[in-house]
């Protein structure tokens, strides 16, 4: 067996790739393996969509702004990086969320979890639903479960359980912030498998969510006390803290930006040859690909099963951030913001009252708002200039909130093809792809937001899993080679 150090390459320097590098380095070190690790990233910076800036005392997230506290991977990684003390939760005085209905803001009924009621009384009082819509939602308590457990669309499932009004007026606007997708095209099993499990175990989605909420107190025990009462967490200086922490922990790792990869091919030795855009080649012992699925499909164009990766649609979104003097805000900042259903025909899909939700994001006497634009069926914004995006956002805020003041400044971010859409049958298609990949190129692992979850915790988890799989595969292969020499 060769005595040279094994070389592992990670393609993509977003949160998935950085997490994969961190856990691969850790796993190999714990096994006493001295390896050479490289990360290549096509853009000019590491961190992917995570991008925090500071401007005039404001802490501004141009990409994602928080993570779910109940999902362990981010909290666990922060702890491992020594960043646990930097975590912060949402403002407890801004727990409300509003939803637009016929041009007016209605408070979202208390007790909703992902749009599913866990308390019926507030649901029966809300102005978001008609009397018939409320009655239809309550039928979930009596309706039998679906005996068939095959995949179905998220929209069809929710309409079947709670009715069309709850889906269109409450749940869809909530989920738009996660997937920006058409719920009638999204896979239930790939997005919210817990909904199907609740129906199967408790017969009723509402009863299942009530039972799940009771258990959530125990699940939150791993969350640091400082943020335990918050559904979402971030870092005091923004999510960039996590990226900076990971980069700092990857000392000794060869990190290269503005480096693109063209393709890969398996060698008879079992190693992988990687061909770069500048024409040079590198032979490595293992690869983790953490790019978008359509980019991964190009890298694996010789693999027939990779064709399924090209079919995964991505939605483009933008956000418009605006800063104001508090004296110019004509409404009470008593909530995290508001959501806009598709049928309201607004340019914006939601608005986060950022400085109310996160107290560390604005100086005293200032206000930070963030408007979201773009979702499935609303991609015309791609033709608009930055000035038009700001104009559209200000127009909607003027009509919905009476806000007419000129912003102190604006920041526009375009996140092109950033939101993967998992179609019905997604998990089965991905499993088939991975089976063929393992049989054909066993030293290559492909993962990321286009596979098993779009949130930061999901990406961290997928990066960790890929790292452990690669380390295990290489160690088993090395053991076989060693035994063959005797």
Give bridge partners of residue 74 from the DSSP assignment.
none
Last residue of a domain, one of 384, 402, 421: 421
Q: Are residues 273 and 304 in the same domain?
A: yes
Task: Check which CATH number belongs to the domain holding 393 and give it.
Answer: 3.90.660.20
- On whether residue 199 sits in a domain, the answer given is yes
| Three-class secondary structure assignment of 445-485 | EECCHHHHCCCHHHHHHHHHHHHHHHHHHHHHHHHHHHHHC
Q: Is residue 338 domain-shared with residue 292, that is, in the same domain?
A: no
Which residue, 421, 442, 457, sits at the end of a domain? 421
Number of domains in the chain: 3
Say whether 95 sits in a helix, a strand or coil.
coil
Residues 381 and 448 in one domain: no
Judge if 319 and 443 occupy the same domain: no
Q: Are residues 206 and 115 in the same domain?
A: yes
Q: Is residue 436 part of a domain?
A: yes
Q: Along the 486 residues of the chain, how does pLDDT read in single tens digits?
A: 445 899 999 999 999 999 999 999 999 999 999 999 999 999 999 999 999 999 999 999 999 999 988 889 999 999 999 999 999 999 999 989 999 999 999 999 998 988 899 999 999 999 999 999 999 999 999 999 999 999 999 999 999 999 999 999 999 999 888 899 999 999 999 999 999 999 999 999 999 999 987 666 555 556 676 667 788 999 999 999 999 999 999 999 999 999 999 999 999 888 999 999 999 999 999 999 999 999 999 999 989 999 999 999 999 999 999 999 999 999 999 999 999 999 999 999 999 999 999 999 999 999 999 999 999 999 999 999 999 999 999 999 999 999 999 999 999 999 999 999 999 999 999 999 999 999 999 999 999 999 999 999 999 999 999 999 999 999 988 888 777 776
Claim to verify: residue 23 and residue 163 sit in the same structural domain: no
In a domain, 122, yes or no: yes
Same domain flag for 331 and 394: yes
- Residue 234 included in any domain: no
**Residues in contact with 438: Cβ distance below 8 Å, sequence separation at least 6, in sequence order:** none
Whether residues 282 and 358 share a domain: the answer is: no
Within-domain flag for 101? no
Collapsed DSSP state (helix, strand, coil) of residue 360: helix
**150 falls within a domain:** yes
Decide if 338 contacts 100 (C-beta within 8 A).
yes
Burial, 57: exposed, middle or buried (Cβ in 10 Å; 0-12, 13-18, 19+)? Answer: exposed
| Residue at 53 is within a domain | no
Helix, strand, coil percentages, rounded to 5, for the chain? 45, 25, 30
Residues 157 and 287 grouped into a single domain: no
Instruction: Tell me which residue of 140, 119, 137 sits closest to 203, measured CA to CA.
Output: 140
CA 200/CA 138 separation, integer angstroms: 18
Residues 308, 427, single domain; the answer is yes
Nearest to 116 by CA among 36, 204, 189: 204
CATH number for position 180: 1.10.3110.10
Q: Say if 221 falls within a structural domain.
A: no
Among 195, 215, 235, give the residue marking a domain's end: 215
Check which CATH number belongs to the domain holding 480 and give it: 3.50.50.60
Give Dmax (Cα) for the chain. 80
Same domain, 319 and 412: yes
Indicate if 468 and 391 belong to the same structural domain: no
What is the pTM assigned to this prediction?
Answer: 0.94
Q: Which domain holds residue 279?
A: 7-43+244-312+423-484
């Amino acid at each position: 067996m060769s005595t040279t150090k094994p070389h592992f390459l990670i393609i993509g320097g977003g949160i998935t790739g950085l997490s994969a590098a961190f856990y691969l380095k850790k796993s190999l070190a714990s096994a006493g393996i001295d390896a050479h690790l490289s990360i290549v990233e096509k853009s000019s910076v590491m961190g992917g969509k995570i991008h925090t800036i500071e401007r005039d005392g404001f802490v501004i997230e141009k990409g994602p702004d928080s993570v779910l506290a109940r999902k362990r991977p981010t909290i666990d990684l922060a702890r491992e990086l020594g960043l646990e003390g930097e975590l912060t939760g949402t403002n407890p005085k801004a727990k409300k969320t509003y939803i637009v209905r016929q041009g007016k803001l209605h408070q979202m009924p208390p007790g909703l979890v992902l749009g599913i009621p866990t308390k019926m009384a507030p649901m029966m009082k809300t102005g978001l639903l008609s009397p018939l819509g409320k009655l239809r939602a309550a039928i979930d308590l009596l309706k039998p479960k679906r005996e068939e457990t095959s995949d179905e669309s998220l929209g069809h499932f929710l309409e079947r359980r709670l009715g069309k009004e709850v889906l269109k007026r409450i749940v869809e606007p909530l989920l738009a912030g996660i997937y920006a997708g058409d719920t009638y095209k999204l896979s239930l099993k790939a997005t919210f498998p817990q909904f199907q499990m609740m129906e199967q175990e408790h017969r009723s989605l509402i009863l299942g969510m009530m039972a799940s909420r009771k258990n959530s107190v125990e699940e939150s025990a791993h969350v640091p006390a400082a943020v335990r009462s918050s559904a979402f967490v971030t870092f005091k200086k923004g999510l960039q803290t996590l990226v900076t922490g990971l980069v700092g922990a990857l000392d000794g790792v060869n990190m290269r930006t503005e480096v693109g990869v063209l393709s890969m091919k398996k060698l008879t030795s079992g190693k992988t040859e990687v061909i770069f855009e500048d024409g040079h080649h590198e032979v490595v012992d293992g690869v983790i690909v953490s790019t978008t699925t359509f980019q991964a499909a190009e890298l694996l164009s010789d693999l027939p099963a990779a064709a399924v990766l090209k079919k995964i649609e991505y939605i483009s979104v933008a956000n418009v951030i605006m800063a104001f003097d508090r004296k110019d805000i004509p409404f009470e900042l008593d909530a995290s913001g508001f959501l806009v259903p598709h049928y309201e025909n607004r340019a914006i899909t939601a608005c986060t009252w950022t400085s109310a939700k996160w107290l560390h994001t604005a100086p005293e006497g200032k206000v930070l708002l963030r408007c979201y634009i773009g979702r499935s069926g609303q991609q015309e914004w791609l033709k608009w200039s930055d000035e038009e995006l700001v104009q559209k956002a200000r127009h909607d805020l003027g009509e919905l909130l009476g806000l007419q003041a000129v912003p102190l400044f604006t920041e526009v971010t375009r996140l092109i093809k950033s939101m993967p859409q998992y179609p019905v049958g997604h998990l089965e298609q991905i499993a088939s792809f991975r089976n063929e990949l393992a049989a054909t190129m066993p030293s290559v692992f492909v993962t990321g937001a286009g596979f098993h979850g779009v949130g930061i915790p999901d990406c961290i988890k997928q990066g960790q899993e890929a790292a452990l799989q690669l380390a295990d595969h290489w160690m088993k292969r090395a053991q076989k080679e060693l035994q063959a020499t005797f």
